[in-house]
């Protein structure tokens, strides 16, 4: 079974990690269009108010931890463009323009 999550903020990465803990054999794929994951969206106003604030202060966990420790197929630089419910597929595109199906 494949579980695809669109977006890599803290809540979605928590869901991805929970799914993997519940069933280690499930294939978890996360599509995130930026290169930042597990960030605290609630902290964004502080970054906006202080543009010199280091973005790293908003990051809960680094992307590589989810890949190495949690065995999650975390794809940064990928944007979901469509969902085909009948085929149970998600269409994604890389920032370079390559189209992918998940």
Catalytic residue list contains 24: no
Q: Using CA of residue 15, residue 17, residue 23, residue 26, what is the dihedral sign?
A: positive
Sheet of 78-84, strand order: 78-84, 89-94, 99-101
- 81 strand-pairing partners: none
* Choice among 11, 14, 21, 42 that is catalytic: 42
What would the two tokens of residue 28 be? Answer: 């978890």
Contacts of 26 (CB under 8 A, 6+ apart): 1, 2, 3, 19, 20
> So which residues are the catalytic ones?
42
């Amino acid at each position: 079974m494949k579980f695809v999550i669109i977006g890599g903020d803290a809540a979605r990465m928590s869901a991805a990690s929970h799914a993997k803990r519940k069933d280690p054999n499930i294939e978890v794929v996360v599509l995130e269009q930026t290169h930042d994951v597990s960030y605290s969206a609630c902290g964004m106003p502080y970054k906006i108010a202080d543009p010199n604030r280091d973005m790293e202060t908003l990051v809960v966990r680094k992307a590589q931890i989810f890949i190495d420790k949690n065995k999650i197929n975390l794809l940064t630089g990928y944007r979901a463009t469509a969902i085909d419910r009948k085929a149970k597929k998600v269409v994604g595109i890389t920032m370079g323009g390559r189209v992918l199906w998940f």
